[in-house]
Amino acid sequence: MSLTSLPVTAGGRRTPSPRRRVPGEPRSVAYLYILPAVLIYAAFVFFPFIHSIYLSFFEGNGITRMEFVGIDNYVDIVRNPILRSAFVHALELIVFYSFLPIAIGLLLASVLHRSRIRGVAFYRTALFLPYVIAPTAIAVIWRWILAPRGPLNSFLEAIGLGALAQPWLGDFTWALPSVGMVGTWIMFGLVLALLLAGVQKIPTELYEAARLDGAGPWMEFRAVTLPGLRYEIVVALVLTVTAALRNFDIIYVMTSGGPGNATVVPSYLVYQQAFKVSQIGAAAAMGTALIVVIIAANLLISRAGRSD
């Protein structure tokens, strides 16, 4: 599910004002308000999650009796080169989904901080569009662009770089970076819009003061832009890193993990193990390992955002 798109940050929220209860109502009324949401959440998200952790210690196909195997499924993730490579690929995708868009966004935002742009709504709509449309459709569109005789290769030939033309998604070296570039395309507009909104709020006096102190463009960036955008960078990291780690739809449609296992990622392996080869325990362990990585990454990001 595409709930990757959340502006979540662990800290920094205001604590609520002291509350009282409504005169004449028992405190337990509150439970009636939260009950429907909490029940559905518990039944269809939280308990399945706990159940999944439980299943990850077993081996079997989910129909016949499951056999308890302790932490074997987790040991496999570390030992088996294909399972391990899924996490390595996910980390490589972070470079494309997260670092590259943020680097581009920071560069452009620091150039743009002085201009007052009209028609921001139009630009925002355009920049957000790749993030809003279905990843399955994005994957179909980019499979065309990257096809052996598709627009990218035609373009390279037209500008005399025909030697660089590749069967991008069929090549062991290029398949993962190609999928990654699609992630860069999805994320860079979102990140740019986020950082632009942030840079507009940095008081111009700070830039003037920096200039009076004789700061060059690099010092100005280090001393004013970067600290001023700390919060936006944290939000961008949370959104993009989580999306990179979860990436299922695009891999499923564009490469199915191939060629060979060159583009397998954790979420794709969960699906494959559970629904193609019926290894329920192994799939559950993969899913649990994935959530641990996602939560760890988010904690790391929000900690880094607070300390420096």
Partner 1 sequence: MISRRDTILGYVILSIAALISLGPLIGVAILALGQPGRVGVKLDVTKATNFGNFAEVWEKGDFGPAIRTSLIITVIVVVVSVALSIPAGYAFAQMNFPGRTAIFALLVLGILMPLESMIVPLYLDMRRFNLDNEYWSVILPQIGFSVAFGAFWMRAFFVQSARSLMEAAWIDGANSWRTLTKVLLPLARPQMLTLAVLFFVWNWNDFLLPLVMLSGSDLQTAPMALVTFEGARRTDFAYLGAASLITIAPVVIVFILLQRSFTRGILAGSIKE
x-or-dash string of contact with partner 1, 66-95, rule CB under 8 A: ------------------------------
Nearest to 4 by CA among 248, 301, 299, 287: 248
Please select the residue that binds partner 1; options are 98, 255, 263, 298, rule is CB under 8 A.
298
151 binds partner 1 (CB under 8 A): yes
* Interface with partner 1 in residues 176-195 (CB under 8 A): 185, 188-190, 192-194
Work out the burial of residue 285: count CB atoms within 10 Å of its CB; fewer than 13 is exposed, 13-18 middle, 19 or more buried. Answer: buried
280 binds partner 1 (CB under 8 A): yes
Burial 180-208 (b: 16+ CB within 10 A, else e): bbbbbbbbbbbbbbbbbebbeebeeeebe
In whole angstroms, how close is the CB of 15 to partner 1 at the nearest point? 9
In whole angstroms, how close is the CB of 168 to partner 1 at the nearest point? 14
Identify the sign of the CA torsion 163, 167, 173, 175. positive
State which residue, 29 or 219, has the beta carbon closest to partner 1. 29
In whole angstroms, how close is the CB of 131 to partner 1 at the nearest point? 8
Please select the residue that binds partner 1; options are 65, 67, 81, 115, rule is CB under 8 A.
115
* Interface with partner 1 in residues 20-59 (CB under 8 A): 20-25, 27-34, 36-38, 40-41, 43-46, 48-49, 51-52, 55
127 binds partner 1 (CB under 8 A): yes
Number of residues that bind partner 1 (CB under 8 A): 117
Nearest to 199 by CA among 90, 287, 111: 111
CB atoms within 10 A of CB 299: 11
Please select the residue that binds partner 1; options are 98, 142, 223, 227, rule is CB under 8 A.
142
CB atoms within 10 A of CB 65: 7
CA distance 148 to 157: 12
